[in-house]
Each structure stands twice: as C-alpha cells, then as structure tokens.
Amino acid sequence: MKRNLFKAAVLAFGGMIAVAAMPAMAEDAKSLDELLKMVRQGYATDARENKEREQRFVAARYDQQKTLDEAKRTLAAEEKRSSDLEKSFEANETVITERQRTLKERLGTLTELFGHLTSTAGDLRSNFQSSLVSIQFPQREQFIDDLIAKMAGAEELPSIEEIERVWFELQREMTESGRVVKFRTTVTSAGGEKSEQDVVRVGTFNAVNTEGEYLQYIAENGTLAVLSRQPTRYMDWAEDLANATSGMHPFGVDPTGPTGGSYLAALIDSPTLTERWHQGGVVGYVITAVGALALLIAFWRLVVLTLEDMKVNSQLKTKKANSNNSLGRVLKIHEDNPSMDPETLELKLSEAILKETPRLENSLNLLKIIAAVAPLLGLLGTVTGMIITFQAITIFGAGDPKAMAGGISGALVTTVLGLVVAIPTVLLHTFVSGRAKKIIHVLDQQTTGIIAEHTEGHAGN
C-alpha cells in the first residue's frame, strides 16, 4: 500500500513537471500533431526517470538500514568493553592499594630517611639555583631535580650512589665557596652578544672576566652577563686577579650575593660627578658658568698683579721713574715737579694713587659678588627641585622612598655647586685683594716718604 502511494506521488510529481514543461513545448511545436507527439515523448521520458529515482531511493534506504544495524552492534561491543575495563580498573585499584601497603611496611624507618633526604635535596636545589658555583657545575641541578622526582613518585627507590652524591654535592658547595677558580664559560656582553670567555669565580660572591669586568649571575637561565655599569674603582684589582696565576691580590668583593648584590648595585647606581652635575639642571649650569668666570677673573688678576708687583719691586731699586708700573707713574709726578710746594705735591701724589687704585683693584668687586651670589643660586636650585619633588609626591604618592630620596638628592646638588663655587671664590678674592693692597701700600709708603723729603728740602730752602 505504501509502495503504491509512493509511486502515485512520483507520477503526480512527474506530471506536474510535464505540465509545467508544456508551454515551452507548445511554443516549439508547429502543429497539433507535432505537439501531441512531443507530449507523449515527454511522458515516456519522465516515467523512465521517475523509475530510476525510485530505484535509487530504495537502494539508499537499504544502505541506511545496514549502517544503523552496524552502529548498534558497535555500541553493544563498546558497552561490553567499558564494563570489562571498569572491572579491570577496580581490580587494579585493589592491587595498587595492597602493594602500597606492602611497600610502606617494607620501607619501615626508611620512610623517615627519604623524608629528610627529600627536604635536604629541596634545600640544595634552592641553594644551587642562586649559587655562582652552578655556572661551573650545571649538571648538579638536573641530578637534584631527578632525585626529588624519583623520591616523590615512589615507583623506584634512590640508589646508595645517589644518596651519597647528595652528600658529595653539599660538601662540594661548601668547598667551592672558599676557592678562587678560573674556568671557561659563555658570557653575555652588555650589547647582548654571547661569547666564550675565561672567568674567575671568587667563592660564591663575584665573578669577573680577564678584562676586569664584573659579571652578574642570572639565576633564571643560569648564565653570566657583563654588568651594564661597572664599579670602575675596583676594575683594576679585578683585572689583576683575573690574570694572576698565584700570590695574594686585592679584590673588591661584594658579600651580599652573586647576582650583583645590593652593595655592588649601590656602588654601580651611584651617579658619577658628571651625572650629579647634570642633576643640577639649568641652575647648576649657571652656577658652573659663574664659577668658571670667577676662576678666569681671579687667575687673570693674579697674573696681572704678580707682574705689577715685579715691576714695582724693580722700580724700588732705581731712582729714575719708569712709567711702565704704577709706582713709576706716581714717582714721575715728583720727578716732573721738583719745585712744587709740599701741599700741592701731596695732592698731586694722592690723585695719582687714586688713579692707580682702580687699575689694581679691577674686578675684585665682581669676585666678591660672585662669592655672594653662588650660594643664593644654589639655594634657588634646591628650592625649585624640592617643589618639583613634592609635586611628584602629590601625584604619585610617597610609596617609593628611593624615588623621593633621589629627587631630594638631585635638588641638593645645586646647593653643593653653589658652595663649591663660593668657597674658592672667597679665597681667591682674599688672595687677589691682598696682592692689590700690598702694591697700594707700597705706593702710599713711597708717596709719604717723597712728601717728607720734599717738605724737608723746601723748609731748608
């Protein structure tokens, strides 16, 4: 019944296709007989095609049923296999439990021994990871890792040789911590390039290469790298030690650790004089320029006054006035006016001394001003730097004392620069002023003597 209904549906569908195709045939037909012939041919073709479709559908239906039956058989087999595996798993769990209990009974006091051994090996591993000796003996860390994994797994027991090696590695670490050893290993330069170099290890504290450069131990990958900044004051000692074969040699040891150490890091991070000078900023540059100007003026005046002092001393040894020095120019007035009355001569000589005094005291006031202004400029820079530091604290907070201390330290640099400029300037001003006053004192002394002699001679006449 179902098969007949299926055939009727197929034929009806074919008829619909034929009817739909009839308008197209009607357009191609030239007569009714020809149209009828075409319709018959179309029905025959559709019937043949429908029969072929029906056969293909029936064949596909049989294949799907076969596939379904195969899937049911596979499902049943897998369910049986799962049940067998569950039974086997339960049996294995029972066996494992029984064997673990047997293993624990047979281990007895060895369990406590292995516990201590595991704890010791764990401590050794952490020490080896940060120890500089691991660069020379890298294989020992892998041994410790394998031993810990073996004792933790409980599938096999460590051998006596392995237990003895734990003691040996511990003893070797203690021994190597007190030795200075040279060996060859890979070193990463500051530019990131790797190369084989001779390295000298000083115990577990520091390592240096043959050029005297300090090396940093990077525990994450167990490598050595050249420090980007070096403690230059100790590099000569390090180079001497690295190239020595025997004897005692001084060396700058950082006792705080092989990874650079806090003490060595503090030395490296400490700014140089040039860097501290740059911390002063614009105010620092101005103070430096003012200080350089003061030095130039002071040395210039020292040279001029020294030459003038030599010329004055030479003038004191002769009676003829020479106009190339201040004393000679003053004496020239008396030499040109021998008959002048004492009062007028005194006034003329005083006038000459007043003319010479500015030449001798030239730029001394400028030195005095620089000595007074330099500390004030330093104070200005310090106040400005403190303002900037407190503004940063307001924005970012005071959670990092190092950053705050660094800002305050930079602010105080200008005060130091101001004092460094002011103190020598005051000393130079005093020294130069003393030279000028010495020459002026000679002028006053000689002028007084000339007036006294001229007064006596005038009174005798």
What is the structure's pLDDT at 370? 93
Q: Identify the pLDDT of residue 403.
A: 61
- Pick the more confident residue, 321 or 39: 321
What's the mean pLDDT in 56-65?
77
Q: For the segment 320-346, what is each residue's pLDDT rounded down to a tens digit?
A: 888 888 888 888 887 777 778 778 888
Q: Mean of the pLDDT values across residues 262-276?
A: 68
Residue 136, exposed/middle/buried by CB under 10 A (0-12, 13-18, 19+)? middle
Between residues 174 and 100, which one has the greater pLDDT?
174
Pairing of strands 194-202, 180-188: antiparallel
Residue 243 has pLDDT above 90, yes or no: no
Pairing between β-strand 214-218 and β-strand 180-188 as defined by DSSP bridges: unpaired
Q: Do 287 and 417 meet the contact criterion of CB atoms below 8 Å apart? A: yes
Question: Can you give the residue ranges of every domain in the chain?
Answer: 2-84, 185-269, 279-460
Which is higher by pLDDT, 208 or 63? 208
> With 50 as the cut, is the pLDDT of residue 25 above it?
no
Q: Which pair of structure tokens corresponds to residue 142? A: 């892998």
**Is the confidence at residue 45, as pLDDT, over 60?**
yes
pLDDT at residue 18 is higher than 60: no
| Mean pLDDT along residues 137-159 | 79
Position 461 scores a pLDDT of 57
pLDDT of residue 431: 92
Q: Across all residues in the chain, what is the average pLDDT?
A: 80
pLDDT (tens digit per residue) in 419-435: 999 999 999 999 999 99
**Can you give the pLDDT at residue 406?**
64
- pLDDT of residue 153 exceeding 80, the answer is no
Mean pLDDT of 357-367: 89
pLDDT at 7: 44
Average pLDDT value for residue range 303-323: 86
| pLDDT confidence of residue 328 | 83
Percent of the chain exceeding pLDDT 90 equals 13
Element (H, E) at 224: strand 223-226
User: What average pLDDT does range 295-320 have in this prediction?
Assistant: 89
pLDDT on residue 252: 80
pLDDT of 109 > 70? The answer is no
pTM over 0.95: no
Q: Evaluate whether 198 touches 243 at the Cβ level (below 8 Å).
A: no
Give the mean pLDDT of 351-379: 90
Question: Which of 268, 275, 183 has its CA nearest to residue 227?
Answer: 268
How is 145-186 classified by DSSP, letter by letter?
Answer: HHHHHHHHH-SSPPPHHHHHHHHHHHHHHHHHTT-EEEEEEE
